[in-house]
Amino acid sequence: MPDTLRPSAMTPHEGVIERIRQAAERLLSSPRFHRWAAAFPLTRHKARREARALFDLCAGFVYSQVLLACVRLKLFELLADGPLSAQQLALRTGLSRDAAERLLDAAVALRLASRRAGGRYGLGMLGAAMVANPGIADMVEHHGRVYRDFEDPVALLRGLSGATALSGYWPYAGNADAAALDDGRTADYTALMAASQPLVADEVLDTYPVAMHRCLLDVGGGDGSFLRAAARRAPDLKLQLFDLPAVAAQARLRFAEAGLAARAEVFGGAFQTHALPRGADLVSVVRVLHDHDDDDVMQLLRAIRALLPPDGTLLIAEPMSGVAGAEPVGDAYFGFYLMAMGRGRPRSEARLTDMLRAAGFCQIGRLPTRIPLQTCVMVARPRPLTPDEERCKERCN
Ligand SMILES: C[S@@+](CC[C@H](N)C(=O)[O-])C[C@H]1O[C@@H](n2cnc3c(N)ncnc32)[C@H](O)[C@@H]1O
């Protein structure tokens, strides 16, 4: 019996299903079956879809570079002002007419642009979405810089890649002295996070009504973009932000510019070595846990549990593993991105639930978000302490 079939680990029912699956796999791996399926009327459409999906996987990098060219040449901004011919685009971008036409044809094929009357080109469905969400262009530029980390994915998997561009870009990952990082090391990622925050903040704040709380502490809150979005929704909400000192200094400036200096308290420190501020009845960690290994995450969750009042809530927002319909985002994209960064991993709802329980939370659940690609939302409540834990807490305080 092949090694992969371990009856002891399976129920008899699962064993039968597994055997059927292996037989199907053998069939699907046969070139003859493929030729037949591509010709047979009832399987033809499925065969074409799967062939296209496989081609897209092989070609994904080239598609991404078409998008990068569009971003660098500001194609979407130009088309947003009105349709252009290839000749007009050539004049605006300094490309030859031929190259402009080649780029536009590729963009049409990827639904970034669309053909219009008179041989002109306008925005396509996805190009319009790029205009609506300017933060995506920053992510595309960012990818342009870090793709070299993925040149040898097997070396990455074997841990043989050495220093990667991503570990330099996110210098707190695995840095025992993250609190000492200066603005020169944190400014780039803080700006990138701020640019992509509107996508995330709207999704989170539409999902969870922060206005029912008194004070929101955003741990790893970056330049405060999320808190400012929360403040707009909840005028009476007090704001607290905790992040590395250099990032906290940025947040202080941004709050002052937004006229929120009196409403927002900002604390600089690293959660591994500095205490979190007290007073909040809602704590958010937005795109933070997945950046860290399990030990650090457990330490942070316990620290949050310790500061929350009995009616408090923890709000977690980040991409997660195993989300139906978003598997490539959580498991392929973030799985590999975080591997190149050198710390953290996307976690499933079940894994986060286990960690939250172990850290002393209860009433743990995932809230449905409209687009659960980059942002899934989970909430948890502090579990009432057992008498033993209460005694221990009194002794420790
Ligand atoms: C991926 S960014 C997310 C920022 C923000 N929450 C957002 O979604 O835009 C992670 C944030 O966690 C902060 N961070 C990382 N390690 C930290 C630590 N040990 N203590 C406090 N903040 C930390 C980083 O400085 C950064 O601002």
Residue-wise pLDDT for 59-80, tens only, equals 999 999 999 999 999 999 999 9
Distance 270 CA to ligand 1 centre (A): 9
> Does residue 164 fall inside a structural domain?
no
- Distance between Cα 5 and ligand 1 center (Å): 43
Q: Are 252 and 230 in contact (CB under 8 A)?
A: no
Q: pLDDT confidence of 310, banded at 50, 70, 90?
A: very high
Residue 205: band (very low, low, confident or very high) from pLDDT cuts 50, 70, 90: very high
- Closest ligand 1 atom to residue 285 Cα is 6
Instruction: Using the mean position of ligand 1's atoms as its centre, give its distance from the Cα of residue 243 in Å.
Output: 6
Note the pLDDT of residue 145.
Answer: 79
Whether residue 237 is found in the same domain as residue 350: yes
User: Do residues 206 and 105 share a domain?
Assistant: no
What angle (nearest 5°) sits at the alpha carbon of residue 393, between those of residues 390 and 397? 145
Percent residues over pLDDT 90 in the chain: 77
Phi and psi for 246 in degrees, rounded to 5? -65, -35
Q: What single letter denotes the amino acid at residue 193? A: M
Q: Which of 215, 238, 218 is nearest to 288 (CA)?
A: 218
Do 116 and 221 sit in the same domain of this protein?
Answer: no
Q: Are residues 233 and 106 in the same domain?
A: no
Query: What percentage of the chain carries pLDDT values higher than 70?
Result: 97
Q: Are residues 102 and 215 in the same domain?
A: no
**Residue whose tokens read 């290994």:** 293
Residue pLDDT, tens place only, 143-169 = 987 898 999 999 999 998 888 999 999
Instruction: Indicate if 353 and 255 belong to the same structural domain.
Output: yes
In a domain, 244, yes or no: yes
Q: For residue range 86-132, list pLDDT tens digits in order.
A: 999 999 999 999 999 999 999 999 999 999 999 999 999 999 999 99
- In a domain, residue 359? The reply is yes
- CB-ligand 1 contact for 230 (6 Å cutoff): no
Do residues 255 and 228 touch, judged by C-beta distance below 8 A? yes
Q: Same structural domain for residues 85 and 226?
A: no
Q: What is the CATH number of the domain that holds 114?
A: 1.10.10.10
Residues 345 and 222 in one domain: yes
Q: Give residue 5's pLDDT.
A: 47
Q: pLDDT at position 161, please?
A: 85
172 CB under 6 A from ligand 1?
A: yes
Q: Answer whether residue 4 shows pLDDT above 50.
A: no
Indicate whether 24 belongs to any domain: no
Asked whether 220 lines ligand 1 (CB < 6 A), one says yes
Least confident of 21-25, 98-102, 187-191, 386-390: 386-390
58 part of a folded domain: yes
Residue 186 lies in a domain: no
Note whether 243 and 376 are same-domain residues.
yes
Q: Torsion angle, CA of 334/340/342/348, rounded to 10 degrees?
A: 20
Of 84, 112, 132, the residue that ends a domain is: 132
| pTM metric for this prediction | 0.89
Would you say residue 69 lies in a domain?
Answer: yes
Check whether 2 has a pLDDT greater than 60.
no
Encoding tokens for residue 169? 């870009």
Residue range 322-354, pLDDT digits in tens: 999 888 999 999 999 999 999 999 999 999 999
276 pLDDT band, cuts 50/70/90, is: very high
The CATH number linked to 246 is 3.40.50.150
- DSSP letters of 300-362? HHHHHHHHS-TT-EEEEEE--BT-TT-HIIIIIIIHHHHHHHTS----BHHHHHHHHHHTTEE
pLDDT, average across residues 254-277:
97
Residue-wise pLDDT for 353-388, tens only, equals 999 999 999 999 999 998 878 899 999 999 887 777
245 and 362 part of one domain: yes
For ligand 1, atom 11, the nearest C-alpha belongs to 220
> Which of residues 83, 113, 132 is at a domain's end?
132
- Residue 19 has a pLDDT of 87
Question: How many CA within 13 A on the CB side of residue 179?
Answer: 10
Across the chain, what does the average pLDDT equal?
93
Q: Nearest Cα to 225, choosing from 251, 257, 264, 186?
A: 251
Is residue 380 assigned to a domain?
yes
Dihedrals phi, psi of 177, to nearest 5 degrees? -115, 45
Which domain range does residue 265 map to? 192-389
How many folded domains does the chain comprise?
2
Task: Burial-class residue 111 by CB neighbours within 10 Å (0-12, 13-18, 19+).
Answer: middle
Contact 231, 265 (CB under 8 A): no
Q: How confident is the model at residue 15 (pLDDT cuts 50, 70, 90)?
A: confident
b/e sequence 253-291, b meaning 16+ C-beta within 10 Å: ebbeeeeeeeebbbbbbbbeeeebbeebbbbbbbbbbbb
Whole-number Å distance, alpha carbon 160 to ligand 1 midpoint, is 26
Q: Is there a single domain that holds both residue 253 and residue 374?
A: yes
**Whether residue 244 has its Cβ less than 6 Å from ligand 1:** yes
Q: Are residues 80 and 196 in the same domain?
A: no
Q: Check residue 266 and give its pLDDT.
A: 98
CA distance 359 to 292: 16
Read off the pLDDT of each residue in 28-35 and give the average, rounded to a whole number: 83
